[in-house]
Amino acid sequence: MLIKDRYKAFVEYFSSHQPEAETELLYENPYQLLVAVILSAQCTDKRINQVTPKLFERYPNPESLSEATPEEVFNYIRSVSYPNNKSKHLVGMAQKLVAEFNSVVPSDIDDLQKMPGVGRKTANVIASVIFNAPAMAVDTHVFRVSNRIGLTRNAKTPLAVEKQLVNYLPKDKIHIAHHWLILHGRYICLARSPKCQSCPLTEICKYYQQSQTETALQKVEKAQLKKANELKKKRLADKTAKALKKLKAI
Catalytic residues: 121, 139
Amino acid at residue number 90: L
Amino acid at residue number 195: K
CA distances from 203 to 72, 170, 208 (A): 52, 21, 8
Sign of CA dihedral 31, 35, 40, 42: positive
Q: How many C-beta atoms lie closer than 10 Å to residue 175's C-beta?
A: 22
Convert 198-207 to b/e letters by CB count within 10 Å (16 or more is b): ebebeebbeb
Sign of CA dihedral 192, 193, 195, 200: positive
**Phi/psi-derived region of residue 188, left when phi > 0, alpha when psi is between -120 and 50, beta in every other case:** alpha
Distance CA 120, CA 84 (A): 21
CA distances from 224 to 184, 228, 232, 233 (A): 38, 6, 12, 14
- Give Cβ neighbours of residue 132 (< 8 Å, ≥ 6 apart): 175
